[in-house]
Copies of this chain bind each other. A is one copy, B any other.
Amino acid sequence: MSAPTDMAGRPVAVIGAGLVGSGWAIVFARAGFAVRVFDQNAATLAAFGQAVGDSLADLQRFGLVDDPAAIAARMSVAGSLAEAVDGVAYVQESVFERVDVKCALYEQLDAVLGPETIVGSSSSGIPASAFTEGLASRSRCLIAHPVNPPYLVPVVELVPAPWTDAAAVAATRSLMQAVGQVPVTLTREVQGFVLNRLQGALLREAWALFDEGYCSAQDIDNTVCHGLGLRWSFMGPFETIDLNAPAGVRDYAERLGGLYLDIVRSRADPQPWGDALVGRVEAERRGRLPLSGLPGRCRWRDQRLMALAAHKRAMAEETGE
């Protein structure tokens, strides 16, 4: 892993020091970058060090980092936005996801940004065109949407606004690869980007099957976590079908394209996740896990993600993937 030439050796800034921002700080510092952190909320900034320390301790416990102290030592808290971005090659913005909040921050950023600094936004839904149009720096702004936490789930979606320079996208892609993330590059904006569109398509079918009484929510979950999701944890949907017919993806499409078209056509009328329907899934979920158990189960999920990351790293080393 090596950073793009013009970014190597220069610090990066993380603006917004909450859950997402602190995750990004770990990603960059783990890869050797000096990270300057800033948040306009003093309480968030005060909690940042503890949050990062806890995450790094977990990562060390699962063999995913060697020297937490050295990683933490690369992070510094900046006294102002201007100080945070001074001389940095890249800014990862992770402030609260609301258009007015983004607009206000980007106006301030625009005034203090160096002439070559690129800004990636962690926005999961708002496109960059909604908050960068009027900026002098708009050609260097794009979406760099992570999954939480980014130091365990490496995919990051890069989505340019209509005015984003291709060079800014390419440089961000190189940087993300250099820090161990897996960038996915979109050619233009689309609602939900790629990840949530794929998730949304599967969820739509899951809700409909449950709604129509075909099976329980638990059985739908089991179909994924003891079936479909196993392959998808190490190869994507196209590779999966490419390997599922003797002569590859065309062979598969010829055999099963008709079935899949019929399935999709049977879902021609999208319905909202209605209140009564949500209530029925909620009742089943709360029967398995009371609301008070959610935080503990989230810790279980994070530990499973860590163990899976360690497993995938070992596999990659073994098979040279």
A interface vs B, CB < 8 Å?
Answer: 125, 147, 152-155, 157, 182, 184-188, 190-192, 194-206, 209, 212-215, 217-239, 241-243, 246-250, 253, 257-268, 270, 272-273, 278-279, 281-282, 285-286, 289, 291, 294, 297-298, 300-301, 303-305, 307-309, 311, 315, 319
Q: Do A198 and B188 touch across chains, with their CB atoms under 8 A apart? A: no
Given A237-B199, A249-B281, the answer on whether A209 and B226 have CB atoms closer than 8 Å is no
Q: Which of A184, A233, A289 has the most CB of B within 10 A?
A: A233
Q: Determine whether the beta carbon of B311 is less than 8 Å from that of A153.
A: no
Would you call A215 and B191 a contact (CB within 8 A)?
A: no
Choose one: B209, B221, B319; the contact of A300 (CB below 8 Å): B319
Nearest CB of chain B from residue A162's CB, rounded to whole Å: 14
Contact A194 B214 (CB under 8 A): yes
Contact, CB under 8 Å: B257 / A273: yes
Asked whether B191 lies within 8 Å of A266 as measured between CB atoms, the reply is yes
Complex contact A222–B184 (CB within 8 A): yes
Residue of B232, B242, B267 near A233 (CB, 8 A) is B232
Rounded to whole Å, the gap between the CB of A293 and the closest CB of chain B is 10
